[in-house]
Chain A
Amino acid sequence: MNDRQLYSELLSAWEETYKKGQLTLWIFLSLKDGKKYVEEIKAFVEEFSNNTMTCESQSLYRTLRKFQHLGVVDFETGEGNKGPERKYYYLTALGMQLLNSFTGRNISLFFSEKIRTLINQEASK
């Protein structure tokens, strides 16, 4: 295995591990942005993750059903585009609190001056 292959495989393996658990964050972020139906959530996740995160609609429905059961997400029905009524999902107060706590404890770290400088240094090399 040459260095190029090694680099590629290591990066894939790291990303695979890193992405585990990230779909929740992306779904929550898309709903913090506003009420959305499944296709809009999917589009948001794919667009803002630069297509590094992809999700099937069926998988999203299942995940949202689970979050609704847990009380972090809920929906209201609204008119579809010339079709049947759509479910517009939104974060409940619990969901919003959960997202804010999670990002505060785990994501905001990356915005500290020191870490931002380190990331930018790496990127500029």
Chain B
Amino acid sequence: MKILTKNLIFFSIAFMAGAVVFRHGLSYAIGNRLHGLLWAIAGTYFLYNLLTGWFFGKRDYESLPLFDLGFRFHFAAYLIFNLVSWGWFKFGLESQFEHIGIVYTTALFWGISLVIHFIFFLALRKESIKGIHKEDIFE
């Protein structure tokens, strides 16, 4: 199955840019105790991810209808977000109120949902040939 597609790469770049901006905004808002801004950043970041995922995911499916239930995009998002968060702490860019433990906790709980997603992906893979759903092959 083809894993790395052009649209997944573009999504990863956009997602990484979003994650860096989000981390910056998060540390700024927490460091300055700006709770209103914190919610605004979180909401904007959520919408940004939703739109980029929808946009590149749709284009990816139109280009080649790989039947993976969005797992490749989910996995890329997981890796990028957690690497950016971990790097943020390693480079000492966090605010004085943040602790690296939250990065590991996030990775753990998100990782559990990723594993569940992967199980569903594996279960449904039987219905596809080389990653394309059998019903989508012949038109």
Contacts and interface: CB of A to CB of B under 8 A. Distances in A.
B139 A21 contact: yes
A70 B65 contact: no
B97 interface: no
B63 A70 contact: no
A42 B65 CA distance: 21
Interface in B92-122: none
A23 B139 contact: yes
A69 B5 CA distance: 12
A62 interface: yes
A65 B131 CA distance: 13
A62 B62 contact: yes
Interface residues of B, number: 13
A63 B137 CA distance: 8
Contacts of B62: 62
A24 B139 contact: yes
B139 A69 contact: no
Contacts of B64: 65-66, 69
Contact of B132 (A20, A21, A69): A69
B122 to A, nearest CB: 20
Nearest to A59: B139
B126 to A, nearest CB: 17
Interface in A1-59: 20-21, 23-24
Contact of B63 (A21, A24, A62): A62
B138 interface: yes
Contacts of B137: 66, 70
Interface in A59-106: 62-63, 65-66, 69-71
Given A66-B65, A69-B2, A69-B64, A21 B130 contact: no
Contact of B129 (A21, A23, A70): A70
Nearest to B129: A70
Interface of A: 20-21, 23-24, 62-63, 65-66, 69-71
Interface of B: 2, 62-65, 129-132, 136-139
Given A21-B138, A70-B129, 4 more contacts: A62-B63, A69-B2, A70-B137, A71-B130
10 contacts: A20-B139, A21-B138, A24-B138, A65-B63, A66-B65, A66-B132, A69-B130, A69-B131, A69-B132, A70-B130
The 10 closest A-B pairs by CB, nearest first: A24-B138, A23-B139, A21-B138, A70-B130, A69-B64, A65-B64, A66-B132, A69-B2, A66-B64, A24-B139
